Amino acid sequence: MLFTFLIAYRDQKLAHLSRIRTISAVASSEAAARAQLPGLPLVFVSRNATGGAL
């Protein structure tokens, strides 16, 4: 699965962000995707099938 996150703190409003930055990771779960991106303030955006088996 491909997990996409917004790099922002949970309490920030989109209108107050100067830039919209996203990052994606391929993993079998959201927790595993977050573990690949340590130290970043992540807000979950979407999950999509990658078309291959993990």
pTM summary value:
0.82
What backbone phi and psi angles, to 5 degrees, belong to 31? -60, -40
The beta-strand segments (E) located in 1-54 are 2-7, 22-26, 42-48
Q: Could you give the strand order of the β-sheet that contains 42-48, starting from the edge strand earlier in sequence?
A: 22-26, 2-7, 42-48
What pLDDT score does 33 carry? 97
pLDDT in tens, 1-29: 999 999 999 888 888 889 999 999 999 99
CB atoms within 10 A of CB 40: 12
